[in-house]
Amino acid sequence: MHSWVLPMLKPEPVALMVLLILLVSIIQGMRRGAPRSAKHLFFFIWQAASVVLALVIAGKVSTRLSPVIRDLLVERHIVVPKEELSSMKQLWYTFITSLRDFELLRFSALFLLSYAIVRSLLQFIEPLFEVVYDRFVRSEQAADSGRQHSRMPQRMRSGTASRATGALLGALLGAGRAFLVIAILFVYVSLLPGAAGVDSIRASALYKKTAAEILTPVAGDVLKQGPVFSDAVQAEFRKVLERKYEVIDAAVPANIEAAAVKVTKNAHTDEEKARALYDWIGTRIAYDWDKANNYVNKNIWKEQTPVETFDTRKGVCIDVARLYAVMARSIGLDVKVVTGLGATGSGGYGPHAWNEVKLADQGGKWIPLDATWASSGDWFNPKGFASSHIQQA
């Protein structure tokens, strides 16, 4: 006990937060008295147990259902219509095809849905526990209290003893609340080791003791891969964004398709067609520095369709990559819009977008290209492309 009290007495944020939680809980316990404090403690334990139970059930259900849902969606042969889609249809096709193709997104969606259903069912039966508590637990407490204090004045039985017991129960409730807060901090630190406030949390003696002696033995093996999981979530999110562009740009306007056919009329292989489009877009679409500067300096972003890029003959990297993808698909090439980081030329990296094209007539291999950078050199599948382009999805 002494080893737990000392870390709480050190003046640092986590310890002060825990002391505040304990103090508030003790005061609440004294004000409520023994019966109401016991009830709050009982339902706090029940709610904590129901959360754990819901998490376990949701995890098992999601693991079993994820491959089943994937197979069902694959069998449906969902194809994005090559026509102008409403915003709702764009959202639907983005979601349903992402659910089919991206495992982490599918598992997460099933997990959240399963957890919500299980928690709702457990909350539905919670009033039954309250009835049971009121009828049996409190009546038993009243009987015990009557037997133990039958010779004491009524004021003593209902006053001092009740408040003292309430304070003790409040302290236990506060300890549970404080542990829950530290557990949340433990997850935060594990998943986001470079986030704000992490160093301050790790420096807390109380946090270190709780994490080392209780949390790490229970969940350390699961959460030690936290940063990897966090990166995986970000990568999956980027894939969903790329899928959004694929859905929005599925419909190819007649003039853009005609231009793609004309540009590639003398090309015969997939590589020659991809190269012809790269040369055409790279020499005709100017980089929109005004749009880029508005985003960097003023955080103002203008979403731009491939039609606008084609008509205005200017755009930033994502606009160029989307136009290339639309033109390539219109002549039968399989192409991706890839987002990630591109070298800035000053030793750093910044957000960037480019393309990958599948050469079906060369064994189905994928090659990278960056039409946005065409004016600065040949970025059509050059050696060392990966050293200047970091794919994050």
For 238, phi and psi rounded to 5 degrees?
-65, -35
Three-state DSSP state, 151:
coil
DSSP-derived secondary structure for 229-249: HHHHHHHHHHHHHHHHHHHHT
Helix (H), strand (E) at residue 341: strand 334-343
Asked if 29 contacts 169 with a C-beta cutoff of 8 angstroms, the reply is yes
Name residue 340's beta-bridge partners. Answer: 352, 391
* C-alpha span between 111 and 59 (Å, rounded): 6
Closest listed residue to residue 355, CA positions, set 282, 301, 297: 282
Name the DSSP letter for residue 362. Answer: G
Residue with tokens 């591109």: 342
Only one residue has tokens 């039609």, namely 307
Q: Are 270 and 105 in contact (CB under 8 A)?
A: no
Q: Which of 259, 249, 227 is nearest to 326 (CA)?
A: 249
Nearest-angstrom CA–CA distance, 180 and 161: 29
Q: Which residues does 12 contact at the CB level (< 8 Å), separation at least 6?
A: 200, 203, 204, 205, 206
Helices (H) and strands (E) in the chain, counts: 18, 6
Neighbours of 267 (CB within 10 A): 15
What is the second-level CATH architecture of the domain 255-391?
A: Roll (3.10)
Nearest CA to 256 out of 325, 335, 310, 314 is that of: 310
pTM over 0.95: no
Q: Provide the 3-class DSSP secondary structure of residue 333.
A: coil
Q: Where are the domains of the chain?
A: 9-140+163-246, 255-391
Q: Please count the other Cβ atoms lying within 10 Å of the Cβ belonging to residue 279.
A: 15
- List the pLDDT tens digit at each of the 393 positions of the chain: 556 666 666 778 888 888 898 899 889 888 887 777 877 887 888 888 888 888 889 889 998 999 999 999 999 888 888 777 788 888 888 889 888 888 888 888 898 899 899 989 888 887 777 777 667 655 555 555 555 554 445 444 456 777 888 888 888 888 888 888 888 888 777 766 667 888 888 888 888 888 777 777 765 555 555 455 556 666 777 778 778 878 888 878 899 999 999 999 999 999 999 999 999 999 999 999 999 998 888 888 888 889 999 999 999 999 999 999 999 999 999 998 988 899 887 778 888 999 999 999 999 999 999 999 998 899 999 998 999 998 864
